[in-house]
């Protein structure tokens, strides 16, 4: 009886060891998407009154948890009953991530000033429903990124037992939400901490200097996260194509993997932008003919 009990404990300990290893690998694989998730939500959680930043962030966090509760069981069921769907979703998600990353680069270099009516529309929205709009936008983006996080995490344990898949994917999904939004909470409160340090030190001394540094660092950190997140998006998308499309996996074997993945991600993003641009033009012409 006792030996059976200890055998069960040994099995549980061995399973937890395996989960720790696979979760570490899966987290490393999803780091790029987590970086973009962090950058996106740090940007969306700022720009409000100080008293509203944490409530907005909490609303986004709850939305993220609901996203994970929806996505994780669906991904596990697909893997059991329709496994080819996992690879298809990964590749489609790769195109989305490539599009997001390259589109940011294109917008940065070829950004056109907004027309007056666009600016007026944005001001009206900021005055009416900016908070709800940002929360909805952040939760939607989180859903798409969460799909990729869960699928990539699942992809690292496809050959493992079902229990190991469930535990690994669940842990990575939970860590993604807690880790990302915990860090975002720290980032968005940087300027408030800085202002308090400046106020308490009467604008003088070491603490005032630290406070000023925190206040000035917030926009810089958000911009840096945006750049890092953009590069990460392209690298992650390229990695998805390389590891899931046999031809690309064996293409240019002598080229460093990071360079190959970045180049393939850029190419996929440009293709996605071209297809969407042509599609929008065709759709607009069709609507005009119908009208």
Quote the pLDDT of residue 270. Answer: 93
Range 159-166, long-range pairs (CB < 8 A, 24+ positions): 160/18, 160/22, 162/76, 162/80, 163/15, 164/15, 164/18, 164/19, 164/22, 165/76, 165/79, 166/76
For the stretch 233-291, pLDDT in tens is 788 788 888 888 888 888 888 888 889 989 999 999 999 999 998 888 888 887 777 66
Q: What is the pTM of this model?
A: 0.68
Residue for token digits 């298809």? 88
CA dihedral over 165, 166, 167, 171, signed as positive or negative: positive
202: three-class secondary structure by DSSP: coil
Q: Which pLDDT does position 47 carry in this prediction?
A: 59
Over the stretch 9-34, which tens digit does the pLDDT of each residue have? 444 555 566 566 666 666 666 666 67
Query: What pLDDT is recorded for position 273?
Result: 92
Q: If you count them, how many residues does the chain have?
A: 291
Residue-wise DSSP of 119-150? HHHHHHHHHHTHHHHHHHHHHHHHHHHHHHHH
Residue 118's pLDDT is what? 45
Residue 155 has pLDDT above 80, yes or no: no
Which pLDDT does position 125 carry in this prediction? 47
Higher pLDDT, 9 or 74: 74
When the pLDDT of each residue in the chain is averaged and rounded to a whole number, the result is 76
Asked if residue 41 has pLDDT above 70, the reply is no
**What integer pLDDT is reported at residue 272 of this predicted model?**
92
Closest C-alpha to 229, from 23, 44, 85: 44
Give mean pLDDT, residues 82-97.
82
Contact 105, 230 (CB under 8 A): yes
Question: Do residues 214 and 87 lie in contact, with contact meaning Cβ atoms separated by under 8 Å?
Answer: no
Please determine, for residue 127, whether its predicted confidence score (pLDDT) is greater than 60.
Answer: no
pLDDT range class, residue 120, cuts 50, 70, 90: very low
- The answer to which of 48-52, 191-195, 257-261, 265-269 has the lowest mean pLDDT is 48-52
Number of domains into which the chain is organized: 1
pLDDT at 5 over 50: no
Which residue segment(s) compose the domain that 120 sits in? 2-290
Query: Where do runs of H (alpha helix) occur along the chain?
Result: 2-29, 31-44, 50-81, 84-110, 116-128, 130-155, 162-188, 190-200, 205-244, 246-249, 257-290
């Amino acid at each position: 009886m006792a030996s059976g009990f200890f055998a069960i404990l040994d099995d549980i300990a061995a399973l937890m060891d395996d989960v720790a290893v696979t979760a570490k690998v899966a987290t490393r694989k999803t780091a790029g998407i987590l970086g973009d998730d962090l950058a996106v939500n740090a940007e969306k959680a700022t720009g409000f009154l100080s008293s509203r930043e944490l409530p907005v962030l909490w609303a986004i966090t709850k939305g993220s948890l609901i996203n994970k509760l929806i996505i994780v069981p669906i991904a596990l069921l697909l893997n059991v009953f329709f496994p080819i769907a996992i690879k298809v979703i990964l590749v489609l998600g790769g195109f989305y991530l490539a599009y997001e990353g390259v589109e940011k680069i294109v917008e940065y270099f070829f950004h056109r000033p907004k027309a007056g009516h666009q600016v007026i529309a944005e001001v009206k929205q900021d005055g009416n429903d900016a908070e709800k709009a940002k929360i909805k936008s952040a939760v939607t983006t989180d859903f798409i990124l969460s799909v990729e996080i869960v699928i990539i995490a699942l992809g690292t344990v496809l050959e493992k037992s079902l229990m190991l898949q469930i535990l690994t994917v669940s842990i990575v999904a939970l860590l993604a939400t807690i880790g990302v939004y915990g860090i975002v909470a720290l980032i968005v409160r940087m300027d408030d901490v800085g202002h308090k340090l400046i106020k308490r030190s009467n604008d003088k001394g070491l603490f005032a200097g630290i406070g000023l540094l925190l206040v000035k660092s917030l926009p810089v950190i958000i911009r840096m996260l945006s750049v890092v997140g953009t590069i990460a998006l392209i690298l992650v998308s390229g990695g998805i194509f390389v590891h899931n499309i046999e031809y690309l996996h064996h293409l240019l074997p002598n080229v460093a993997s990071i360079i190959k993945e970045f180049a393939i991600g850029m190419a996929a993003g440009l293709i996605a932008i071209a297809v969407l641009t042509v599609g929008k033009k065709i759709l607009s012409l069709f609507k005009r003919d119908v009208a």
